[in-house]
Amino acid sequence: MNEDSRGSKKATSQSVINWLIEDNPWGEYRVRLDLLSDDPQSVEVSRSRQVLLDDPHLKPLLHELSDWPGEVMKNHKSAGHPIHKLTFIADVGFQLSDRPVADIVERITAHHDPAGPFQVLMNVHPRYGGSGEDGWAWALCDAPLLIYSLAKFGLADDQRLIDAAVYLAGLVRENGWPCVVSKEMGKFRGPGRKDDPCPYANLVMLKALAQICELRDGPAARSGVESLLNLWETRRDRHPYLFYMGTDFCKLKAPLIWYDILHVSDVLSQFPWAREDPRFLEMVAIIDQKSDAQGRFSPESIWAAWKGWDFGQKKAPSPWLTFLVHRIRKRLI
């Protein structure tokens, strides 16, 4: 298979590395770990981590999350909801030892279903099958994000987290995960056939399972990966739960919140057996074609809730977005 059909396998150039660090100081920590494979105990990594902890852009997110659960969950696509901010601070490298992450984790783990999944404060209108009142519940479009975040904070071996992941993994079917919610949400179900897989549920379940050693290579993860790849292969004819993989899907967007080509590719790239699949490589090739002459990438769509960040505009290359693309490239080498 030639390089064009596989997506880029080139190492990130030093000029791009320098730009990523100079134009986005809080991202240097992840650049050093994920692109340069620096020793986590090195002086350079320790210094960049301190820059991350001190960054004025990130402190307001931590302050808001210290009041978890904060805003009631009414729409999982709401980019400004605390659950997406939680995922972001986990992505950039915050750990349980960082203030106030330990307090946030304690608040999250205080609410979980007896079966295992962690809950969010949710309100589903009666017309959609809910009670119309605020209450603790979970759905397959939020519970996996809590597992993912907790694992990234350093709790991947915590038995509570493993129990939650095992339970949710067990809900998989032959064609992936369907739309599933806890009993508190009544008869709620997304707008699709009950036999169809939910694309977003599969995406976030795989995002979570990739962090759990015991489940990363299991049958549930393999079913989920095949589900996403099959959805891409049949994208012109199948749109389960109204998730399309067309023009908007292929626009580059950060942070990784919803169902789009960068998010899907980032998650799939964490599973070694998916990296050789021509369907995945087709997605990577589409992303790669969006690079400028210097190997940088610009947002093609933005989340209004993240305006003011380097990825919250479409006029110039974004260091964080560029980092996300190059991290996928690194995994292919």
Q: Is 147 inside a domain boundary? A: yes
Q: Is 53 inside a domain boundary? A: no
Number of domains in the chain: 1
Q: Is 84 inside a domain boundary? A: yes
CA–CA dist 129, 183 (Å, integer): 11
Q: Is 269 inside a domain boundary? A: no
Q: Is 63 inside a domain boundary? A: no
CATH code for the domain of 185:
1.50.10.20
Per-residue burial over 32-46, b = 16 or more CB atoms within 10 Å of its CB, e = otherwise: bbbbbebeeeeeebe
Exposed, middle or buried by CB within 10 Å (0-12, 13-18, 19+), for 331?
middle
Q: Is 17 inside a domain boundary? A: no
| CB neighbourhood size of 243 (10 A) | 22
Q: Are 58 and 52 in contact (CB under 8 A)?
A: yes
The secondary structure of residue 13, as a DSSP letter, is P
Task: Show pLDDT as tens, one digit a residue, over the chain (333 residues).
Answer: 334 444 456 789 999 999 999 999 999 999 999 999 999 999 999 999 999 999 999 999 999 999 999 999 988 999 999 999 999 999 999 999 998 999 999 999 999 999 999 999 998 777 766 778 899 999 999 999 999 999 999 999 999 999 999 999 999 999 999 999 998 887 777 787 889 999 999 999 999 999 999 999 999 999 999 999 999 999 999 999 899 999 999 999 999 999 999 999 999 999 999 999 999 999 999 999 999 999 999 999 999 999 999 999 999 999 999 999 999 999 999
Q: Which domain holds residue 104?
A: 69-231
Q: Are 323 and 19 in contact (CB under 8 A)?
A: no
The secondary structure of residue 297, as a DSSP letter, is -
Residue 202: name the closest of 218, 224, 222 by CA.
224
What is the reported pLDDT for 9?
64
Q: Is 109 inside a domain boundary? A: yes
Q: Is 274 inside a domain boundary? A: no
| CB neighbourhood size of 64 (10 A) | 16
What is the reported pLDDT for 8?
55
What is the reported pLDDT for 41?
96
